[in-house]
Each structure stands twice: as structure tokens, then as C-alpha cells.
Structure 1
Amino acid sequence: MDDVWKPPSYESQQPASTPSVWPHTPAAGRAGSRVPLVVALGVAVVGVVLAVVGILVTGGETAGYRTWHQQSRAMEPTYPEGSDVTVRPIDGSGVRRGDVVLFNARDWGADSVFMMRVIAVGGDHVVIDEPGRVSINGKALREPYLFKSGPYFTPPVEVTVPEGQLFLLGDHRTLAADSRAHYEHNGTIARSAVVGMAVDHASVPSPDRLWMWVGAATAAVGLVAAAVAATVRHRRTGLTPRI
């Protein structure tokens, strides 16, 4: 019975090919949408680093600076009595002629900290005549910082500063109890007694606000971009294929 009807085989009922509903697999879509999010977060991290570095680098340089309240007239007119002076901590090794320093006056028998100007360093030959004119190593010292009090007279001084020592004078020569007042012991103090140096307040480093603001702006842009990328990715991965 060759004419008996036979149902078509299962294979014959299957289409030749099944079209894909989605052109890309969900996994591939999720992987691709992660890139903008990662980039945006990277931008935010870079911004935070710029802001932090801008603050820390210069902020570290300001550590230790302090304010000295001048309580005498010895350094007038440079630092009048009652003025606040910005002081940078130093150990005395880098002190040079002309620097105004703070030092412990134990070498002068006083358990106090004074502020005076370095006139000579170790090896210098100092001569002060009766009218108060100062010479260092045979050359007259030009002193535009002195208090203009007119001619004054002082006992003559002649001393060679020992190595590792400093010879100091006040800018108000008629009032300062400086190295001249301790001449019987050569009037010097040890470099190691120096605890700080007076500096111009404007020279004190401050946090680099340019980099701080650039970093903050970059971080903000990165975070906003990351939020947008995360939202877009969530919407894409949350779609249901159409039937």
C-alpha cells in the first residue's frame, strides 16, 4: 500500500533557519555598555587625585610655620613692638648675613627666645666704632634697615667670630641688648641656638587652589558622566525582547 499517507517527519517541520530576535547577545550588550561607565569613573578618580595632590603638595610645605609676637623695640623699624612676624623653622645651618632669626639666648645667660639680625658668621672679623658704624672683614656694612635715631655712641667692638657662632645686632641700635652687650664673651651665640627665621608672610606657600578647583571640576564631570552611563546601561540590560 504505497499510497498510505505518512505524516511529515519532525525535521521537515523545522524552518531552515531561525532568525535571531536580537542582533547581539545580551551578554555582549552588557559588556559593551560597561565601557563608558568605567571611563567616567576613571575621569572622576583623576579629578580627585588632582585636587588632593594640589592641596597636599603645598600644604606640606606650610607645615611648621608659626607666628612670633614681637614684644620689644629692638628690631624697629623692621618689626615694631607688638607686630606679628611669620617665622619659618630652621636649624641654623643655613643662616646667612642679614637674616633675621629667632634664637635661644642661653649663651647670654637668658632662658628666653630673642629675635635679632645676623651681622656676621664664623670667621668674620667685626669692627664697630664709637659712632656705631659696622665693618665686616674691613668693609663698611651698608644697613638701610636701621632705625633712624640720629648719631649714637657705643663702646668700640672688635671680634673675630668663632666657627659655628653668629654675631647679632638689633635694628634699633640704641635700644637692643645684642652681641655688643655681651662683648666680654665675644658676644656671639651658637648656630645651634637658632630656632627660626623671620620671613615675608606673602612668601609662605598656600594650597594650590587652581589645581584644587580643576580637580574638583573634573571629578564632578566624571561622576555625572558615570551616573548617566549607569542609567543608560541599566535601561539597556533591563529591556525584554519582543515576541
Structure 2
Amino acid sequence: MSAESAESPQQGGPLYKLWRFIREIVIIVAIALVLSFVIKTFFFRAYYIPSGSMENTLQINDRIFANLMVPGPFELERGDVVVFRDDLDWLPPLEAQPTAVESALSFVGILPAAGEQYLVKRIIGTAGDTVECCTVDGRLSINGTPIDEPYIYPGNTPSDMAFKVTVPEGKLWVMGDHRAESADSRFHPDVQGGFVDVDSVQGKASVISWPLSRWGTIDSHEEVFAAVPTPGN
């Protein structure tokens, strides 16, 4: 047998086999972490739903994935359910700092950015839109066109408070589907008029990933807004 084809005792021994196994596991984990980092940086990121403000579209304890390519290269549209940073301090301050484990999970994209707070709402008005509630028959209107909202929590009205706003450039008017339980744009007129910065949007909520019994896509209900005219028309 030639020297090239002979396997040394060290290569065929149990320690060598153990080392090969450990090395393969390390490589697989490293690749998974890199892929997870790339995905959460450019494509999708996981978020947790802690409240009932978006019921029944989203339930308390749902886990969702947000598409980070909205906005840019894809545009935001009326009806989109979006995740946005709490840059305007709608939420009370965090009571505790994230743990090391939470920070690590955040880094690889399993959790949102540690130390930051996020909200999830539905876009009702985009730049130039005039949003008003309510019409004589109790509906919300956009640019003078009343809309029917099938996603609103059963028993809720479109809004228990009257309002009329025109959305500035670079802003959004957002509302929760559970209107009676959502402290949304209506409740923050003293903070930037209640409008959310487009730049604060992290992504479009696209998929419910957990629990498995609720797995599925998140509907933007384009049909609700199909008849709404372009602002100014």
C-alpha cells in the first residue's frame, strides 16, 4: 500500500472523528448565524405582539415576521400593517434593560433590536390624504370617500372620537384594528399631530409565524382602499 493511500492512526482514531464532528457543527452554526444576520438586516425580522391593539388581525403573544424591504425598494400602501420604532415616545419607558441572551438573540434577528420599543398598526392615510371620521352613517372616509373596514374588531366603531387630518409629506396616519383598545394616531395630537414618520417604519408585517395554529400571511385589505382617489383629485 502506498504512503498516499494509507490512513494514519491519528486520522482514523476516535479523537479525530470527534474533532471532525465538532468542526462541522461549528461551521454549520457559523453559517446559520451569518445567514440569520443577513436576513434580519436586509429581508425579514421577527417581532412579538404584546397587546390586543391589533385584534383580531394579530393576537396577544403572536410572533410575526416583518418584510424589511418595505419601505424601499417597495412602497408603503394604505392598509399595510407596519412595525415602527417608538421614536415619538408613545409608549412608557422600558422598565428593564435587555439581558445578554436577549441582546444576542436580537443580534441574529430572532428578537427585535434590544433596548428599543416598537408598535404595530395599520396605515390608514399616506402623504396628502385627508382622513376623517365619521360620516353620517358612521364610517371613516379618505379623501372624501367612505370606506368599509372588515378588519375592525367586532363591536367596535371606526372611531369613538371625531377627527379630520391631512397627512403631511413623509408622514403616516396609523390606527389599530381594535379601535377601542388602540392608543394610535388619534391619541397623540400633541406629538407631531399624531403622525408617524415614514423613516420610523421598520417593515411591513407579512407573516404570523407563531403559534403554528395561526400561521399565515397578514392581509393589507387592498380592496378596502381601491376606490380611494389620489389626494387632490
Q: TM-score range by the shorter chain?
A: 0.5 to 0.7
Structure-2 change in CA distance of 1:104 and 1:125 (3 Å):
same
Match of 2:76 in 1: 95
The answer as to 2:165 corresponding to 1:186 is no
Change (3 A) 1:186 1:132: farther
Bigger helix share: 1
The answer to whether the 8 Å contact 1:105/1:112 transfers is: yes
By how many angstroms is 1:162 displaced?
A: 0.2
Greater Cα offset, 175-184 or 71-80? 175-184
Q: Which stretch shows the higher mean deviation, 133-142 or 88-97?
A: 88-97
* Preserved contact between residue 83 and residue 120 of structure 2 (Cα < 8 Å): yes
| 1:160 matched to 2:166 | yes
Counterpart for residue 169 of structure 1: 175
Q: In structure 2, give the amino acid aligned to 1:169.
A: M
Q: Which residue, 74, 81, 87 being the options, matches 1:106?
A: 87
- Change in Cα spacing, 1:90 to 1:105, as seen in structure 2 (3 Å) is farther
* Structure 2 equivalent of residue 70 of structure 1: 49
Inter-partner Cα distance in structure 2 for 1:96 and 1:147: 21
Cα distance in structure 2, aligned partners of 1:157 and 1:163: 19
CA deviation after TM superposition for structure 1 residue 89, in Å: 1.3
Cα 1:152–1:66 change in 2 (3 A) is: closer
- 1:66-118 CA distances to partner (integer Å, 9 max, x unpaired)? 22110000000001111111211146351110000000122245462100000
Counterpart CA distance in 2 for 1:96 and 1:152 is: 19
C-alpha distance in 2 between matches for 1:150 and 1:66:
31
Tell me how far apart the structure 2 counterparts of residues 127 and 152 of structure 1 sit (CA, whole Å): 10
Would the aligned equivalents of 1:102 and 1:197 in 2 still touch at CA under 8 Å? yes
- 1:118 equivalent to 2:94? Answer no
Q: 1:151 to 1:123 in 2, by over 3 A?
A: closer
Matches within 5 A, 1:78-93: 78-90=57-69, 92-93=71-72
Give how far 1:151 is off: 4.5
What's the offset of the Cα at 1:183?
Answer: 2.5
Larger RCO (CA within 8 A; separation ≥ 6): 1
**RMSD, aligned CA:** 2.6
How far has the Cα of 1:158 moved from its partner? 0.4
CA distance in 2, matches of 1:151, 1:195: 28
The 3 A distance-change label for structure 1 pair 198 and 160 is: same
Show CA shifts across 1:119-173 (max 9, x none): 0100000101288631100011221111102447622110100011000000000
* 1:187 positional shift: 1.1
* Amino acid in structure 1 at the alignment position of 2:81: V
How many residue pairs were aligned? 144
Structure 2 unaligned blocks of 5 or more: 1-34, 92-115, 209-215, 218-233
SS of the equivalent of 2:182 reads coil
Contact kept, 8 Å, 1:161 with 1:186, in 2: the verdict is: no
Listed as ranges, the gaps of 5+ residues in structure 1 are 1-58, 204-243
> TM-score w.r.t. structure 2 length?
0.55
Q: What TM-score does the superposition give when structure 1 sets the normalisation length?
A: 0.53
Asked if residue 147 in structure 1 is aligned to residue 128 in structure 2, the reply is no
Alpha-carbon distance in 1 for matches of 2:39, 2:51: 27
Distance 1:98 1:152 in 2: 14
2:155 corresponds to which letter in structure 1?
S
Of 124-133 and 112-121, the range deviating more from structure 2: 124-133
